Amino acid sequence: MRLPLINGIAAPADAPRAPFLRLSALWIQITGTWCNLECVHCINASGPADPWLKPVRPEVVRRAIREAEDLGVKEIYFTGGEPFLHAEMLALLGDALEVAPTTVLTNGTLIDEAMADALAALARRASYSLEIRVSLDDTSPETNDRVRGAGSFSKAVAALVRLNERGLLPIVTATEIASAAHAGEGMYERFRRFLIAQGIEKPRVKIMPVFALGRLGREGDPRLTEADLAGFDRGLLQCSESRVVGDGGVYACPILAGLPGARLTEGTLKESFADAPLYHPACVTCVQTGMTCKNG
Amino acid sequence: MTEFRRIAVFGGVYNNAPALEAMLADARGRGVEAVFCLGDMGGFGPHPDRVFPLLREAGVLAIQGNYDQSLALGKTDCGCGYTDPRDNHFARISYEYTFAKTSMENKRWLGGLPAHRRLRLGTHRVLMSHGSPRVINEFLWESATPTGLLKRFLREGEADVLLCTHTGIKWHRALPDGTHAVNVGVIGRPENDGSTNVWYTVLTAGPDLSVEFIPVHYDYETLAHQMEREGLPPEFAETVRTGWWTTCLENLPAKERSRAKF
C-alpha cells in the first residue's frame, strides 16, 4: 500500500487517547480513495489514479450496517473518494436508509438527471432522512476550480440545483481553503446568498476547517500531548462516538480511515469499541476547532 | 414508583406564559391526574419570570432541560447544540435576554430539577428525558431517530415508554414489541407547520398506551407584542404570528426541513 506523506506512521504507545462512549455515527469509506477529482487539499489524497485505499466490498458494508443497527447507531454516512463511483452505491444507500438516517458526502459531479431521480425516489420511500452533502470550496468558479479541478464548479452547482428541484435540500460543505479572507460568518453568508441566487430557497451550509493531512500534510506537523489536553473534555471529539468501516478494518476517524495508526481492529464494529489514539496532526485541528465531520 | 392512569406532558415553555396558562387550563378539563414538564422553561419569548408561578401553582412536576441547566450553572450559552453561525447568533440573543431577566430564586429552582423522572402508567414503565436519556441536548427528530436506537434507550433505561422533547416537533412511534417513544412537542413555539397553535400530549394507560396530541390555541398576538416591546428579534415575533420557524433551522433533518417554509 502506498500512503501519502506522513500518514504511514503508527500510533506511538504514549499518544493521548480519546475514550469510546457510544456508537452514534457509522461511517462507510465506500470507495476508499478512488475519486474522479484530485483536489489540492483532499484530506486523504483521493484521486483517479492508483488509489492507496481500496473500496469496501458490498458484503462488508451490509454486515456493518446490520451490526450497527443492533448496536443502536444513530446515523450512517457514506464517504470516499467519490461514493457515486461505487457500482452498488444506490443499493447500499437503500440498505442504510432502512436502518438509520443516512448522509452521502459527494463532489456532486456524477449526479446527473437520472441519479437525482434515483436519489429522490430513495428519499421518498425511506422513513428516515436522506442527506446529500455536496462539496464546494468557493462561490466563484475560478477560485473553486483552482482547488477542486477544472469544470468541477459547474457540475457541482448543477447537481445542487437538480437535488433542490426534487426537494432533497442538499447541504453544501465548504472548506476554508479558498476563502480564508472571508472565513467564519462572512463565508457562511456568502454561500447562503450564492445558493439563494441559484433558486435554492432553503440554503444549508456547513463550513469545515482545512486539515494538515493528505496532500497538505508535512513531516514535523505538531501532535497532541497529554499537557495539550489538560482540562479538555475528550468526550467531545467525534472519535468518542464514531467508527469508520473501510478497507482493512474499522478505524477511529473518518479522515484517518485507512491509516494503520487509526485502525482499531480488523474485525467487527463491536471489537473497535476501545480508546482511540490521538496521535495524528489532524487530531490537533479537531481539538482546536471543535469540528465534527457530521452534519450538525 | 408512583402509578398513574392519565397524565399530561409538555416541553419547551420558552418563556411563553400565555401558552402555558392556556395549556394548563386545557389539561385540567381533561381529567389528568398529574402534569409533567420535560424542561426548557426559558429562551425565545419575553418575561421569563412569569412562567415560574404558573408552574408552581399548578403543581407541575418538571425535569431539567439544557436551557434550565445552563441558567442554573451560569453558563455563557444555552447549550442547545447548534453548529450553525446564524442559529448561534439568535440563540445568543435569546439566552442573554433570558439569563438577565430570570431571578436568582428561579435559577436556583431550575438547578434543583431532576434530569429524569420515572413513573408507572398502568402497567407501562415510563422514562422521561429532555433530549435523550443519555444526553440532555441530543435532538431526537422523527426522521433522524432510528428504531434500533429507541429500542436501545428503552432496554438500557428499563422502560416501556420513552418521553422526550427538545426538538420542538412532536411525534409518536409504536414499536413492534409494544413499547413506545413519544416526543411530546413544545408549548413555547408553534411547530413549523404554518399554524399558530402549540402542542402538548395526554397519555392514558390501557391494554395499550393511548397517546393524544392536543393543540393549544392561545393569545399569540399579545405574546408577539410583548416580544417586540422587550426588543427581542422581529424574527421571533414573526414565528409566533405565522407558525413558521425563522431561526434555529439548521439542525432540522431533510424531511422536517422540506415541510418548513424557510
Give one DSSP letter per residue of A72-121, joined into a string.
T--EEEEESS-GGGSTTHHHHHHHHHTTS-EEEEE-STT--HHHHHHHHH
Residue A195: CB atoms within 10 Å: 23
Mean pLDDT throughout A51-66? Answer: 97
Antiparallel, parallel or unpaired: β A249-251 and A242-246: antiparallel
Q: What is the pLDDT of residue B93?
A: 95
How far apart CA B37 and CA B128 sit, in angstroms, is 9
What is the arithmetic mean of pLDDT over A25-46?
A: 95
The HSE-up count of residue A197 (CA atoms within 13 Å, CB side) is 9
pLDDT tens sequence across A194-228: 999 999 999 999 988 887 777 777 777 889 999 99
User: C-alpha grid cell for residue A265?
Assistant: 481492529
| Mean pLDDT, residues A25-37 | 97
Measured distance CA(B116)–CA(B67) in Å, rounded: 15
Range name among A34-38, A40-44, A65-69 with the lowest pLDDT average: A40-44
B88 pLDDT tier (thresholds 50, 70, 90): confident
Q: How many CB pairs under 8 A join A and B?
A: 77
C-alpha cell at A234: 475528550
pLDDT > 70? residue A91: yes
Model pTM score: 0.95
> Quick check: A129 and B254 CB within 8 A?
yes
Question: First and final CA of chain B: distance in angstroms?
Answer: 44
| Burial zone of B54 (CB within 10 Å; 0-12 exposed, 13-18 middle, 19+ buried) | middle
From chain B, pick out residues whose CB is under 8 angstroms from the CB of A185.
Answer: 85, 89
* Closest-CA distance of chain B to residue A8, Å: 33
Instruction: Quote the pLDDT of residue B63.
Output: 98
| Tens of pLDDT, residues A63-86 | 999 999 999 999 999 999 999 999
Residue among A107, A189, A199 nearest A162 (CA): A199
What are A161-194's pLDDT values in tens digits? Answer: 999 999 999 999 998 877 665 555 588 889 999 9
Residues 6+ apart with CB under 8 A from A226: A16
Give the nearest partner residue to A127 out of B139, B143, B149, using CB atoms. Answer: B143
B47 to each of A68, B61, B216, how far by Cα in Å?
A: 45, 21, 20
Computed from CA positions of residues B221, B44, B132, B150, in that sequence, does the dihedral angle turn out positive or negative? positive
- Range A66-87 burial, b when 16+ CB lie within 10 A, else e: ebbbebbbbbbbbbbbbbbbbe
pLDDT of residue B121: 98
**Per-residue confidence (pLDDT) for residue A4, from 0 to 100:** 54
Write out residues 195-214 of A within 8 Å (CB-CB) of B: 201-202, 204-206
Phi, psi of B119 (to 5 degrees): -155, 175
Q: Please give the share of chain B, as a percent, with pLDDT higher than 90.
A: 91
For residue range A110-131, list pLDDT tens digits in order: 999 999 999 999 999 999 999 9
- What integer is the mean pLDDT of B243-254? 94
CA distance A96 to A73: 11
Asked whether the beta carbons of residue A74 and residue B146 sit closer than 8 angstroms, the reply is: yes
- Using alpha carbons, select from A8, A44, A39, A11 the residue that is nearest to residue A293: A44
The x, y and z cell numbers of residue A123, run together, are 428519499
The pLDDT tens digits of the residues spanning B195-231 come to 999 999 999 998 889 999 999 999 999 999 999 999 9
- Secondary structure of residue B130 in the 3-state scheme: coil
For residue A72, give how far its alpha carbon lies from the nearest alpha carbon of chain B (Å). 4
pLDDT at A147: 93
Place of cell 426541513: B257
Q: Minimal CA–CA distance to A141: which of A129, A132, A151, A126?
A: A151
Average pLDDT, chain B: 96
Q: For cell 434507550, name the residue.
A: B153
pLDDT for residue A137 is more than 80: yes
Which grid cell is B78? 444555552
Q: Name the average pLDDT for chain A.
A: 92
Can you give the pLDDT at residue A1? 44
Q: Least CA distance to B140: which residue of chain A?
A: A74
